[in-house]
Every structure is written in structure tokens, then in C-alpha cells.
Amino acid sequence: MTADGLASWNDTATRAAIVDFVARVTTEGGPDFVPPSERIATFDNDGTLWCEKPLYVQADFILRKWRAMAEADASLAQEQPYKAVVEDDRAWLGALTDHVPELVQGVSEAFGGLTTEAFEAEAVEFFENVRHPTLGVAYTEAVYAPMRELLAFLESHEFRVFICSGGGRDFIRPVSERIYGIPRERVIGSSAPLELREGALVRTAGVEQPIDDGPGKPVHIWARTGRRPLLAGGNADGDVEMLAHSRFALLVHHDDADREFAYTSGAEKSLEAAAAHGWTVVSMRDDWATVFA
């Protein structure tokens, strides 16, 4: 098997490991052959398929909405999370895990009661109008070209590729087909609980459990596919369980300060697990000829 279609990858051991694995599971009669029906691949989104720094794309979407709400109703500026947004209190906003109740409450106030169509319209407007704060391109162009090629490479070898994001399923769906070639029915992610009201699907308060992160990822993947991933890709600690649940695990390591960002924060456990289990680690600096298309 050749690496046709993987032009943004350098000719390194990483690319060879991927191509070799795909060759083994698609070689009919070979000892590792897997029939096409069982070829499921799952990829985390933030930091794996598109850039997640300096902030999650969806965080930018939510913060803008909170700011607009606080501008429309000054009394909100006294309460969290609106207060932190109005005062640009990055310490408060950065300590996500310390403020889960306020953040979930804020998200419920911002988007609860919206129909799925109305929520999608807000997401589409965001993607059309907002640019990445440092890269200067639309967020939909802050996609890693080598990963986009890998998704197509897998599809061309009869894998069905799913996104499996800790972030919002319905936030990614409006753009997944265009930017990744992944149809909306193959986007897995977290969501507000939905309810049918007078024929419309409406977002309610809170978050559906389990969220699609950490141990929730294999649960969501099973619910959606009825399988373990044959191949999975991630970049952070929330991906460890999904990667451990797959046959071939790919971990994207952000070590390219010149072309993207260099960080290991939030990926410490996944890098340790990769070393312990022999997962294939992608060095953005060394393995990728191009980062963004």
C-alpha cells in the first residue's frame, strides 16, 4: 500500500505505521484482515482535527453569546459566568473545572429553549463571521490538512469515520461535511437533553450524561456504532479511554510553536499512556509537511 493522498505528511515512521496498519486490516486473506463492515474509525475534534488554542472554538461561540446577553441585560453582569466575560476575568474562565455549575447554568440560559434549527442558525452565523484570533482565518480553515487527508485515506479504504468530540455534537454538525467530509450522522459529541415540543426538538437545561469525554467516549461510540473503533485519534487526556478502547491509537502531539502551538498541558496522561501502550504519536513538527491547508 502506498501513502497516496497523504501529501501533507512527511515520509516518517509515523506515516509508515498508519499506512502499514491500514494495509494489514484491508488485505483480504491476510491474518489481520477486518471486513469493511467492521472498519470504524473515531477522531476527537478539538486539537485533533482543528486547532483548540488559544481557546476552544465552541468556547469563543459561547463567550460571545454571554457577552451579547450581558449587553442586552445589564443586571446579568453581576452574576457568573457573565461577570467574568464582561470583566475579561481569564483566571475565572480558565478554571473550568472549578465552575462547572455556573458554566452549565450559563450555557442552559444561553441556548436552552432553542430549537435544534435555531441553535444551528446561531452556529452557522458564528462560523461565517468569526475568525480565529491568532491565525487570522475562519475557524473552519483552522483544520489540520494532514488529518483531513487521513480521514479521506481511511474512507477510501472503506472505513466509516466518526467524529467523537467532548464538545457539542450539534455545534460541529453544520460544518462537518464541508470541512471534514463527514456527514452529520457521523458526528458524536455532547449535547443538551432534547425534548419534543409541538413537533420541534428543543434544547433543555443541563447536559446529557455521560458527556462525550473520558470514560464517556467509549459509551457514546458504542451507542452510535455498536463497535469498538478499529482506529482512533485524539490529542488529550479526555481521549485516553477511547484510544485504549481501539485497535490502533493515534495521539497528536502539539510540539510546533512556529506553525501552531506547543503545549502538553491537558495531555500529560495521554502522552504517558501512549508511551506505556506503544500508541503512535504524531509530532506536528516532524511528521507534518503542512499544518493548515
Q: Which residues bind a copy of itself (CB under 8 A)?
A: 37, 40, 116, 160, 169-170, 173, 177, 183-185, 187, 191, 194-196, 199, 201, 215-216, 218-219, 222-227, 241, 244-245
Do the Cβ atoms of 239 and 254 come closer than 8 Å? Answer: no
Residue number with CB closer to a copy of itself (26 or 246):
246
Distance CA 245, CA 250 (A): 12
Do the Cβ atoms of 76 and 105 come closer than 8 Å? Answer: no
For the bound state, the minimum distance from the C-beta of residue 33 to a copy of itself, rounded and expressed in Å, comes to: 18
Residue number with CB closer to a copy of itself (175 or 236):
175
For the bound state, the minimum distance from the C-beta of residue 194 to a copy of itself, rounded and expressed in Å, comes to: 5
Residue number with CB closer to a copy of itself (188 or 251):
188
For the bound state, the minimum distance from the C-beta of residue 225 to a copy of itself, rounded and expressed in Å, comes to: 4
Residue number with CB closer to a copy of itself (94 or 181):
181
Residue number with CB closer to a copy of itself (55 or 244):
244
Do the Cβ atoms of 187 and 176 come closer than 8 Å? Answer: yes
Residue number with CB closer to a copy of itself (24 or 184):
184
For the bound state, the minimum distance from the C-beta of residue 241 to a copy of itself, rounded and expressed in Å, comes to: 6
Angle between helices 116-129 and 57-72 (to 10 degrees): 100
Distance CA 82, CA 152 (A): 41
For the bound state, the minimum distance from the C-beta of residue 176 to a copy of itself, rounded and expressed in Å, comes to: 9
For the bound state, the minimum distance from the C-beta of residue 199 to a copy of itself, rounded and expressed in Å, comes to: 6
Distance CA 158, CA 161 (A): 9
Q: Which residues contact 278 (CB under 8 A, 6 or more apart)?
A: none
For the bound state, the minimum distance from the C-beta of residue 184 to a copy of itself, rounded and expressed in Å, comes to: 4
All three cell numbers of 5: 493522498
61, amino acid identity: F
Residue number with CB closer to a copy of itself (225 or 290):
225
